[in-house]
A and B are shown apart, each in its own frame.
Chain A
Amino acid sequence: MNEFKSGFFMGGESCNGRVLIVDDEPDIRKVVRMTLQKAGYEVLEAENGAKAIETINTGENRLLLDVIICDIRMPKVNGIEAIAYFRQNYPRVPLIVLTGFPDTDMATSLLRQGVVDYLVKPVEGEKLKASVARAMEHRELARL
Chain B
Amino acid sequence: MTNPELTKSDHSASRPPAPVTTTDRLSGLDGYEGTPTPTPTKIAIVGAGRGGTAMLTLLHQLRTVEVVGIADRRADAPGLRHARELHVPVFKESADLLRITEPDLVIDVTGDAAMEKTLRQQVPGGVGILSGRSSRLLYDLVKHEFALQAELLQTDKLAGIGSFAAGIAHDMNNPLQLILGLAENLTEERDLETVHLQARDIVEAVKRTTAICRDLTSYSRRTSIHSDQVVPINAKLDEALKIARYAVGLQDIEVRKSYWPEATAIGNPDEILHVFINLITNAVQAMERGGVLTITTSTIDGATMVKISDTGHGIPPDVMGRIFEPFFTTKPPGKGTGLGLYNIKNVIHRMHGSINVESQVGLGTTFTITFPHDVRAEDGNP
> Which residues in A have their C-beta under 8 angstroms from that of B173?
100-101, 120-122
A14 within 8 A of B: no
A87 within 8 A of B: no
A85 and B23 CA atoms in complex are apart in Å by: 45
A102 x B169 contact (CB < 8 A): yes
B251 x A100 contact (CB < 8 A): no
| Closest-CB distance, B199 to chain A (whole angstroms) | 14
Select which of A25, A34, A103, A125 is within 8 A of B174 by beta carbon.
A25
| Interface band, chain A | 20 to 34
Top 6 nearest A-B pairs (CB, nearest first) are A31-B181, A75-B251, A100-B173, A100-B170, A121-B173, A121-B177
B177 x A76 contact (CB < 8 A): no
Name the residue on B nearest A128 (C-beta): B181
Select which of B171, B184, B185 is within 8 A of A100 by beta carbon.
B171
A76 and B289 CA atoms in complex are apart in Å by: 10
Contact with A along B152-172 (1 / 0, CB 8 A): 000000000000011001111
A100-B174 CB under 8 A given contacts A35-B181, A124-B184: yes
> Which residues in B have their C-beta under 8 angstroms from that of A123?
177, 180
> Which residues in B have their C-beta under 8 angstroms from that of A28?
174, 177-178
**In chain A between 93 and 133, which residues have their CB closer than 8 angstroms to a CB of chain B?**
99-103, 120-125
The total of Cβ contacts below 8 Å across the A-B interface reads 71
B251 x A78 contact (CB < 8 A): yes
A124 and B180 CA atoms in complex are apart in Å by: 7
A75 and B175 CA atoms in complex are apart in Å by: 18
A73-B166 CB under 8 A given contacts A24-B251, A100-B171: yes
> Which residues in B have their C-beta under 8 angstroms from that of A75?
251-252
> Which residues in B have their C-beta under 8 angstroms from that of A78?
251-252
| Closest-CB distance, B312 to chain A (whole angstroms) | 18
Interface SS of B by simple majority: helix
- Known pairs A31-B177, A78-B251. 18 more at Cβ < 8 A? A24-B251, A25-B174, A27-B175, A27-B201, A30-B178, A31-B180, A35-B184, A73-B170, A73-B249, A76-B251, A100-B173, A101-B173, A103-B166, A120-B173, A121-B173, A121-B176, A122-B179, A124-B180
Interface-centre pick from A100, A120, A124 (highest chain B CB count, 10 A): A100
A74 and B290 CA atoms in complex are apart in Å by: 12
- Count contacts on B: residues with CB < 8 A to the other chain: 24
B195 within 8 A of A: no
| Closest-CB distance, A105 to chain B (whole angstroms) | 12
A28 and B173 CA atoms in complex are apart in Å by: 10
B129 within 8 A of A: no
Interface-centre pick from A28, A32, A120 (highest chain B CB count, 10 A): A28
A108 and B247 CA atoms in complex are apart in Å by: 23
List residues of chain A with CB under 8 Å of any chain B CB: 24-25, 27-28, 30-32, 34-35, 73-76, 78, 99-103, 120-125
| Closest-CB distance, A107 to chain B (whole angstroms) | 13
B182 x A31 contact (CB < 8 A): yes
A31 x B170 contact (CB < 8 A): no
Select which of B170, B177, B201 is within 8 A of A101 by beta carbon.
B170
A101 and B173 CA atoms in complex are apart in Å by: 8
B252 x A76 contact (CB < 8 A): yes
A32 and B185 CA atoms in complex are apart in Å by: 11
Contact with A along B194-238 (1 / 0, CB 8 A): 000000010001000000000000000000000000000000000
A32 and B179 CA atoms in complex are apart in Å by: 12
| Closest-CB distance, B26 to chain A (whole angstroms) | 42
> Which residues in A have their C-beta under 8 angstroms from that of B176?
121-122
A34-B251 CB under 8 A given contacts A73-B166, A101-B170: no
B251 x A73 contact (CB < 8 A): yes
A101-B252 CB under 8 A given contacts A27-B178, A122-B177, A124-B184: no
A100 x B178 contact (CB < 8 A): no
> Which residues in B have their C-beta under 8 angstroms from that of A99?
170
